[in-house]
Structure 1
Amino acid sequence: MATRHRKRTRGITPAPLLLALAFLCFGAWVLLRSRPSDVQAPGWVEQQFLTENPWSRPGDKLKEVRGVVIHYVGNPGTSAQANRNYFESLSTGEEDTYASAHFVVGLEGEVIQCIPLTEIAYASNSRNDDTVAVEVCHPDETGQFSDVTYGQVVELTAWLCETYHLKPNEDVIRHYDVTGKICPKYYVDHEDAWTQFLSDVEARLNEGFEKED
């Protein structure tokens, strides 16, 4: 009786498989890092969420967070509370205006959160689906932020970069960079001031943040 020999099957080279698996894992990791979640805002943020409505808080889910967009309110001398209340007033539909932001930073450095970080805000046109919007109050027509406001915008933006693993020089942009609108005015008119802002955010990000209980 002839001895049967098992035919050897040629094994698939493991290297390409491992490489493909590594790419898949990396892609999933990047996606999870940028996916919005129920993030706990720092203690210095006051949450005053808008009433859900079609005009300023539609309740649509934020697909991912790929950037932070900086705006200026365009109304010199107005407070964070006044601007938050304006967004709330749009809920009646009487003004036929769509507008909001996730955060408003005030003249005294106060920060009000208007929209949860899991939802879109009506702020940045084509980038509403993948960015967090920050509106900033300013004392005069130039649109330049006061020192205390500026410092808090740096703090908030750096915290958002830390939370969503963003790079300030790539992922922090102006409304101007999305639509060409002169917003935030001073930081469009003075490119050097915008560059300095990004550097300040980078420096604050590099310092790190302590986790709050």
Structure 2
Amino acid sequence: MDIQYKACAPENYTRGRKEPVRYLVIHYTANDGDTARGNAAYFARENGGHTSAHYFVDEKEVWQSVKEGDTAHHCGAKSYRHPHCRNHNSIGIELCSRKGEGGYVFLPQTVEWAALLTRSLMEKYGLGPEHVLRHYDVTGKNCPAPFVEQPEAWADFQNRLQEEEWEMELPAWAKTTYHWLEEMPDWARSSVSKAVAQGVIDTNEDNSVTLPGLNLQTIVWMDRAGLLDKKEG
């Protein structure tokens, strides 16, 4: 999976680790409609109260803020429920949230991205599902609220991590092949226009394109990186 990176401000995390990674801790941002990109940008420029997380996940993308070899300040406390999981032996994963009528919720696609990221980290570090915890399991804090207040949602997430044959459920836009700009999601149109103008995307004889939806995010990321800006000379 493609993961973007923006380095966290140094005062918000600790360089290095005292122990190897043994746990993955799931959190929520407790915001309404925030983005992974926005959180990464915030912790890169601000003193976030000496708090941080390794990853931020929303319904469209994943951003890394702290390198896995460094210690994020995401589950520290004066007292603990869990006997072993601490900042120095865990990776913190924050899911961006929304506010619903009954409290905080996660968009389904956010949960899908988080499951994909978590599974990849489990495989990387050789961790079983019992090493994937909620912040609540570590300190007793009501975090991530959607997975604490709805235990069945947490059980579903854990089941996703254990499925032998597992494919990510893609959103409708990712399953579609686009031919005309007006058919595309609003968030991609400007970037696709730039890509066509720069010759990155070829046009057909009728000026349409043949663009798989899965490529939209890559084009948007290229645009954000300045790779689609018009070059002088």
- TM-score exceeds 0.5: yes
Q: Distance in 1 between matches of 2:14 and 2:125?
A: 23
Residue 163 of structure 1: which of 100, 117, 124 is its match? 124
Per-residue deviation at 1:63? 1.7
SS for the counterpart of 1:115 is coil
Which stretches in structure 1 are left out of the alignment for 5+ residues?
Answer: 1-41
Mapped contact 2:59–2:108 kept (Cα < 8 A): no
Q: Which runs of 5+ in 2 are unaligned?
A: 78-85, 168-233
> CA-to-partner distance for each residue in 1:160-193, whole Å, 9 max, x for gaps?
100011111x100000111111000010001111
Does residue 78 (structure 1) correspond to residue 34 (structure 2)? The answer is yes
Q: Which residue number in structure 2 is paired with residue 144 of structure 1?
A: 105
How many residue pairs get aligned? The number is 157
Q: Counterpart of 2:19 in structure 1: which amino acid? A: K
For the residues of structure 1 that align with 2:121 and 2:24, how far apart are their CA atoms? 8
CA gap 1:72/1:158 in 2 versus in 1, 3 angstroms? same
2:56 corresponding residue in structure 1: 104
CA contact (8 A) 1:120 1:128 kept: yes
Q: 1:182 aligns with which of 129, 142, 147?
A: 142
Aligned counterparts of 2:28 and 2:114: Cα–Cα separation in 1: 11
| Runs (4+) off by over 4 Å | none
Q: Which amino acid aligns with 1:85?
A: A
Q: CA deviation at 1:143?
A: 2.6
Alpha-carbon offset, residue 144 of structure 1: 2.1
1:182-201 → structure 2 map (5 Å cutoff): 182-201=142-161
Aligned-CA RMSD value: 1.9
Give TM-score scaled by structure 2 length.
Answer: 0.63
Structure with greater Cα Rg: 1
Secondary structure of the residue that 1:125 maps to in structure 2? coil
Distance 2:161 2:121 in 1: 10
Structure 1 pair 117–208 and aligned structure 2 pair: CA distance change class (3 A): farther
SS in 1 for 2:63: strand
Question: Contact conserved, 1:105 with 1:136, CA < 8 A, in 2?
Answer: yes
* Distance in 1, Cα, partners of 2:72 & 2:115: 20
Change (3 A) 1:62 1:150: farther
Structure 1 vs Structure 2: percent identity of aligned residues?
Answer: 32
- The corresponding residue for 1:131 is 90
The amino acid across from 1:47 in the alignment is Y
Rounded to whole Å, the distance in 2 between the matches of 1:156 and 1:143 is 21
Question: What TM-score do the two structures reach when normalised by structure 1?
Answer: 0.69
